[in-house]
Amino acid sequence: MEGRTDLEYCDNLEATELRLGLPGIDRAAAVSKANKRASGDDCDLKRSPPKAQVVGWPPVRSSYRKNSFQEKRLEAADIAGAGIFVKVSMDGAPYLRKIDLRIYRGYKELREALEDMFKFLPFPSLQCHEILDVEACNESEDAIAYEDKDGDWMLAGDVPWEMFISSCRRLRIMKGSEARGLASSP
């Protein structure tokens, strides 16, 4: 009813994931902070483990969500704190969308957002892998591919998130069979 039940499992996977990138802004840090607080406070003993993100909660508009990532140290080539906007196309969809990669924390959130955006088109249930495992894809599976700054098309999920958002130029949601071809190419 609230979201996907397998996300709890995914949270545990994150703990074992190897990551490069700046400390303090990924989910792992937030989790450990929450746990520290829980042990210090009487009433927080009742608090359940950190919950998975629920769509549209807390009810903050997307323009405000960007604030959490306006870290000064994340200076990139973009101007005045503008986000990293990339076009997203989906095979079979009649329109493009544009999203700001800065507002997502990782591949899982990105996939959720894309599923949300292209909701009414057939989109398979969430695969519970932080790093998208291509071998597990079957024929009907859709995959997220991106065009990097060299113009090559790659499958999203292979590189650490920070590296991905700095090199991603556009996204494409492609059919499973095509995706497998992409994965197996050198």
Partner 1 sequence: MLENCGGDNGDDERWSLHPDEASQTKFRQVSSIVCMPPPDQVLENVLEIVLCFLTSHRDRNAASLVCKSWFRAEAQTRQELFIGNCYAVSPARAIDRFRGVRSLVLKGKPRFADFNLVPLGWGARFSPWVAGMSPAYPWLERICLKRMTVADADLVLLARSFTSFRDLSLLSCDGFTTAGLAAIAENCRRLRSLDLIENDVEDDEDEVVDWVSRFPPGKTCLESLVFDCVGFAVNFGALEALVARSPRLRRLRVNDYISVGRLCRLMSLAPQLTHLGTGSFSTFEGEGDFRAILESAFMASKSLVCLSGYRNLAIDYLPTIYPACANLISLNLSYAQITADMLGPVITRCHNLQTFWVLDSVRDEGLQMVAATCKNLRELRVFPLDPTEDSEGSVSDIGLQAISEGCKHLESILYFCQSMTNAAVVAMSNNCQDLLVFRLCIMGRHRPDHLTGEPMDEGFGAIVQNCKNLTRLAVSGLLTDNAFSYIGKYGKSVKTLSVAFAGNSDLGLRYVLEGCPKLQKLEIRDSPFGDAGLLSGIHHYYNMRFLWMSSCKITLTGCKEVARRLPHMVVEVIRDRPEDDSGSFMEKAYMYRSLVGPRNDAPPFVKLL
Interaction site with partner 1 (CB under 8 A) = 1-2, 30-31, 33-34, 37, 41, 43-44, 46-47, 50-51, 53-65, 67-68, 70, 79-83, 85, 87, 97-98, 113, 116-120, 122
CB atoms within 10 A of CB 153: 14
CB of 155 to partner 1, least distance (A): 24
- Whether residue 143 contacts residue 132, with contact meaning beta carbons closer than 8 Å, is answered with yes
Rg of the chain in Å (alpha carbons): 17
CB of 109 to partner 1, least distance (A): 11
Token representation of residue 15: 């703990």
Nearer CB in complex with partner 1: 62/140: 62
Nearer CB in complex with partner 1: 88/134: 88
CB of 162 to partner 1, least distance (A): 18
Q: Assign 3-state DSSP to the chain and report helix, strand, coil percentages, each to 5.
A: 35, 15, 50
- Whether residue 133 contacts residue 127, with contact meaning beta carbons closer than 8 Å, is answered with yes
- Tracing tokens 């960007």 back to the chain, one arrives at 66
CB of 150 to partner 1, least distance (A): 19
Nearer CB in complex with partner 1: 170/183: 170
Measured distance CA(166)–CA(72) in Å, rounded? 16
Nearer CB in complex with partner 1: 97/129: 97
